[in-house]
Amino acid sequence: MDREGILFVVSAPSGAGKTSLCRDVLGQDAGLRFSISHTTRPPRGEEKDGKDYFFIDEATFKEKCDRGDFIEWAKVHGQYYGTAEEGLRKWIAEGIDVLLDIDTQGALILKERFEGAVYIYILPPSFDVLKQRLIGRGSDSKEEIARRLQKAHDEIREYHQYHYLIINKEYEAAKQTLYAVILAERARIGQANLKWVEDRFIHRFEDA
Ligand code: 5GP
């Protein structure tokens, strides 16, 4: 079917399991591509430049920002993150579905600039679980955990701006729900499949 790609924007507070959910759904669907963001934060663990992020320094980030390369960008936990516009629009124009893992500030900016995207918010099942998951990572200081909780508080208030809410209580169920959203959005009636039905069926009836 000749259609534009769909942009899926996924946000969540830290500790909601978003990174794993996105990675697993991307792994099960060859028609879905991950938009690799630019960031000034250093790589963590096994992260690779050009795969998880494009890791760049602050001067390069600012240059790109000034040139208008980013469709959205935000400062998150003291580091800059941005989504390059050109590659994203190219994929969408080519009919490729794209998954974007960005924070709420970025998602709300994007909403103004990109019509037709699908906004998905992921939450853990409770505040206590959120806190536990943040502490459980073990890699961050008390101040960092407090900062993340404050950011989570600010972000969660915006959940109603998203189209879908997925509660990550049981991982497999959350993964299936995320994938179900993607499949359902692909099947949504829109310009592309209307034309497809017209050409293949409606006109054929008229010609018969
Ligand atoms: P992390 O450093 O843990 O990978 O990501 C921190 C936060 O930055 C996450 O909420 C992630 O979704 C967000 N993020 C990653 N890439 C982008 C981006 O390009 N733009 C914005 N606004 N947020 C991003």
Both structure tokens of 3: 């259609």
Ligand 1 site residues, Cβ closer than 6 angstroms: 37, 41, 72, 74, 76, 81-83, 101-103, 105-106
Q: What is the pLDDT along the chain (208 residues), one digit of tens a residue?
A: 678 999 999 999 988 999 999 999 999 999 999 999 999 999 999 999 999 999 999 999 999 999 999 999 999 989 999 999 999 999 999 999 999 999 999 999 999 999 899 999 999 999 999 988 877 766 678 888 888 888 889 999 999 999 999 999 999 999 999 999 999 999 999 877 888 899 999 999 988 8
Ligand 1 atom 12: residue of nearest CA: 102
Assess contact for 164 and 179: CB atoms under 8 A: no
Question: If you ran DSSP here, which 8-state letter would residue 36 be given?
Answer: P
Give pTM, 2 decimals.
0.93
H or E segment to which residue 12 belongs: none
For residue 49, what is the DSSP state? B
Domain spans in the chain, listed from the N-terminal domain onward: 7-35+97-207
The one-character DSSP state at 159 is G
CATH fold for the domain made of 7-35+97-207: Rossmann fold (3.40.50)
CA 142 to ligand 1 centroid distance, Å: 21
Q: How far is the CA of 76 from the centre of ligand 1 (A)?
A: 7
| Distance from the alpha carbon of residue 176 to the mean position of ligand 1, in angstroms | 23
